[in-house]
Amino acid sequence: MDIFKLVNEFKQKNMPLMLVTAVKKEGAGPVEVGKKMIVLENGKSYGTVGGGAIELYAQNKSKGLLAKKENLLENYVLDEGSVKPEALTLPMACGGMVTLFYEYIGPKETIYIFGAGHVGQALVNVIKTMNYHVTVIDERTEVIEKFQNADVKVNQPFVEFIEKKIIKDGDFIIVCTPSHKYDYHVINKLLELGVKPKYLGMLCSYDKIKNYLESTYEKFGRDIDLSFFYSPIGLDIGGVTPEEIAVSISSEILAVSYGKTNHRHMREILNGEDCYWKNK
């Protein structure tokens, strides 16, 4: 089995994985140093790090680390009756010690951009200098064909793409379509399906967001959770060109991704009941 070929195939499909490698062994045991195993989010695995209790433990450990996108180096004693402070004891009778390295391989975040216009293109030019997987959706064939640098380009009506249910909870979504009507359709469909993105940003003016909130409250009620909704989009850094807006949005995505709160978001300029994110 060509593990590295599989790693590349899964990366091309935007499928995060945990690559588990046996990096050290002392004493007896079924593990060989250098052996590798791939574990996917659904628990399916490829390759081996020795079988038995250690492999089962590594598979379960990988699923937890995948959810947190973390790496880990961990030691194991392959002897059910032994206890060592520097290692975990596994129910095996080999008596040796093994060290496994868990390596997360995948994008920092998955981003969907609805709208392949000037701002969408400028944003991808910035965001793809970092470890993000970006899909751009636009129903305008002549526009999407000219788009550059995205990992995936989809020439399809916006709502039709959402109905395929590819977008998952925790993903990042930017809405910058060529029409307010399409923007509203995208966001409303996401709300209807109950998608809980980590970040949902809409490019708009202050007047537009007020109109949108009025229509949203009328459709979904005032208890609708908009805590993940960022509009007007971006950090308050100034600048109105597509390139400057792209830097503002990219900075906001980074702030949300890393859990930073010491930045002023454009949505925070709104006052009173329009501070929709404070309701949750």
Write phi, then psi, for 211 (nearest 5 degrees): -65, -40
pLDDT in tens, 185-196: 999 999 999 999
Domain stop point among 69, 90, 105: 105
**151 and 191 share a domain?**
yes
**140 and 272 share a domain?**
yes
User: What DSSP state is assigned to residue 117?
Assistant: S
Kindly provide the b/e burial profile for residues 10-22, where b requires at least 16 CB atoms within 10 angstroms of the residue's own CB: bbeeebbbbbbbb
**173 and 254 share a domain?**
yes
Predicted pLDDT of residue 274: 56
pLDDT in tens, 156-174: 999 999 999 899 999 999 9
- Taking the C-alpha atoms of residue 139 and residue 13, their distance in angstroms, rounded to an integer, is 22
**18 and 119 share a domain?**
no
For the entire predicted model, the pTM comes to: 0.81
Please give the share of the chain, as a percent, with pLDDT higher than 70. Answer: 95
Residue 176 has pLDDT above 70, yes or no: yes
Instruction: Please give the average per-residue pLDDT across 223-228, as a whole number.
Output: 92
**139 and 225 share a domain?**
yes
Domain stop point among 83, 105, 127: 105
Instruction: Please give the average per-residue pLDDT across 199-214, as a whole number.
Output: 89
pLDDT in tens, 79-113: 776 667 677 778 877 778 889 999 999 988 899 99
Domain stop point among 72, 105, 138: 105
Predicted pLDDT of residue 205: 86
Residue 272 has pLDDT above 60, yes or no: no
Tally of domains in the chain: 2
**122 and 162 share a domain?**
yes
**89 and 150 share a domain?**
no
Predicted pLDDT of residue 155: 97
pLDDT in tens, 27-65: 877 888 999 999 999 999 999 998 888 899 999 999 999
Instruction: Please give the average per-residue pLDDT across 215-239, as a whole number.
Output: 92
Of the candidates 146, 161, 181, the one whose C-alpha atom is nearest the C-alpha of residue 112 is: 161
CATH at 149: 3.40.50.720
Q: Residue 174: helix, strand or coil by DSSP?
A: strand
Q: Residue 57: helix, strand or coil by DSSP?
A: helix
**98 and 132 share a domain?**
no
**237 and 132 share a domain?**
yes
Predicted pLDDT of residue 6: 94
Please give the share of the chain, as a percent, with pLDDT higher than 90. Answer: 68
**23 and 89 share a domain?**
yes
Stronger pLDDT, 31 or 70, i.e. the higher one:
70
Cβ atoms of 212 and 231 closer than 8 Å? yes
Q: At 78, is the pLDDT very low, low, confident or very high (cuts 50, 70, 90)?
A: confident
Residue 273 has pLDDT above 60, yes or no: no
User: According to DSSP H, which parts of the chain are helical?
Assistant: 3-12, 52-68, 118-127, 141-144, 158-162, 180-192, 206-220, 242-257
What's the one-letter identity of residue 253?
I
Residue 121 has pLDDT above 70, yes or no: yes
Predicted pLDDT of residue 61: 95
DSSP secondary structure of 88-110: EE-S-SS--EEEEEEEEES-SEE
Which residues, at least 6 apart from 25, have a Cβ–Cβ distance to it below 8 Å? 31, 32, 33, 96, 97, 98, 99
**274 and 140 share a domain?**
yes
* Segments forming the whole domain that contains residue 262: 109-279
Give me the chain's average pLDDT, please: 90
**236 and 117 share a domain?**
yes
